[in-house]
Structure 1
Amino acid sequence: MDHRDMRISDAERERVVAQLNTAVAEGRLTIAEFEDRVDGVLRARTFGEIEPYVTDLPVQQVKPPEESELRSRSSSLKRRGRWTVPRRLTIVTLSSSVKLDFTEAIFGAAVVDVVLDAHSSSVELVLPAGAVADVDSIYTHASTVKSRIEPSGGGVQFRISGEVSTSSVKLRYQRRFWRWRW
């Protein structure tokens, strides 16, 4: 199958719109050109239909950070919406609540390593549809680890490791009911 005939996903469409947005900010496109191109990109179903809207623009290479650390102490830490996920994410938390929603996140790698260092905390990871997770490398002490993630899928692979003491860790997919999502 030719790459041009392959269907494009919503996330890939959003990346193209972001590229067009950057082109406007750099002065490469007028507002009218931007609006016309965005309309065309949002109607496109294949990669071939997208090409006419971006062929005259430079290709953007967005490289996510290789490593990042999130720290929380006696507080609440939440991350949701569009955010770039590093290849290795370390979460250090003490007496806190951490909720990371990966459903709209941008992944630069097919495998994400999440290292936990949680004490007296709750950690909730909401994974995108099709993602898989390996929680066998978590060392627990008076803690619970619950995973509602399917054992096989073709999406991003999460490898979760680290130490969890008197804490709870929950992995799940996004819940949906009618128009609501949480």
Structure 2
Amino acid sequence: MSEPPAVPDPRDMRVSNDDRERVAQVLHNAMAEGRLTVSELEERLDKVYAAKTFGDLEPMVRDLPVGNQAPQLPVPVTTSSPMPLPNNRIGGRGTSSSAIAVLSGTGRKGVWTVPPTFTTFAFMGGIEIDLTEARFEDPETTIQAFAFMGGIEIYVPDDIAVQVNGTGFMGAFENRAHNQAQPRPGVPLVRVTGLAVWGAVEVKRRKKKRAEIED
């Protein structure tokens, strides 16, 4: 069985002069809004114009809203309605360790087993990861999501706890699932990390179909 192709890290991709200028404009706007002092602006601009990769640029705007995107706030955890315990969610061997879409689309859905670390990489393409019927090799799973001018959608059911901690660089990294952030005994925990560069990573809730509920 051949090894899966290595997943490139978007942080290692080289930036252009236009990329540096876009980041510089974000910094100038932040200074005008009072988010940065003049000295902080000058210090960051020096690093921006010396940057060679997206990994060099990303820390310069990590603590700033980009465009109309406001900084993400933690989603409050509600305990009024207990989460149902999963049914045979944990156990087995991972069936796939990565999903890669380059100028194309791909996904993982249906009945499959997620390994402890699962990597997704979308370059000008789209990926859909559906965990509705998935099992998990370990109680805790990390999904690394990298979207470079592409999109990654991760669907989770109600009986999975999710923690989202990614970075959107001229893009969005959002948790729309509103699942509980802390796991309960027997409930799988999925951590979603990574980077979206001019793209989007979205974690969403997918409810069971009516036909499945009636059965």
| TM-score between the two structures when normalised by the length of structure 1 | 0.59
Whether the 8 Å contact between 1:132 and 1:149 is mirrored in structure 2 is no
In structure 1, C-alpha distance between the alignment counterparts of 2:112 and 2:153, rounded to whole Å: 17
1:63 maps to 2:93: yes
Give 1:67-146 correspondences, 5 Å limit. Answer: 68-136=97-165, 138-146=166-174
Whether the 8 Å contact between 2:148 and 2:198 is mirrored in structure 1 is yes
Give 1:24-39 correspondences, 5 Å limit. Answer: none
Whether the 8 Å contact between 2:113 and 2:136 is mirrored in structure 1 is yes
Tell me which residue corresponds to 1:156: 188
Whether the 8 Å contact between 2:118 and 2:143 is mirrored in structure 1 is yes
In structure 2, C-alpha distance between the alignment counterparts of 1:87 and 1:122, rounded to whole Å: 22
Structure 2 spans left out of the alignment, 5+ residues: 1-84
Structure 1 spans left out of the alignment, 5+ residues: 1-7, 16-60
Question: What is the aligned-residue identity percentage?
Answer: 17
SS at match of 1:113: strand
How much has 1:177 moved relative to structure 2?
6.1
How much has 1:130 moved relative to structure 2?
2.1
Alignment root-mean-square deviation, CA: 2.8
Whether the 8 Å contact between 2:92 and 2:113 is mirrored in structure 1 is no
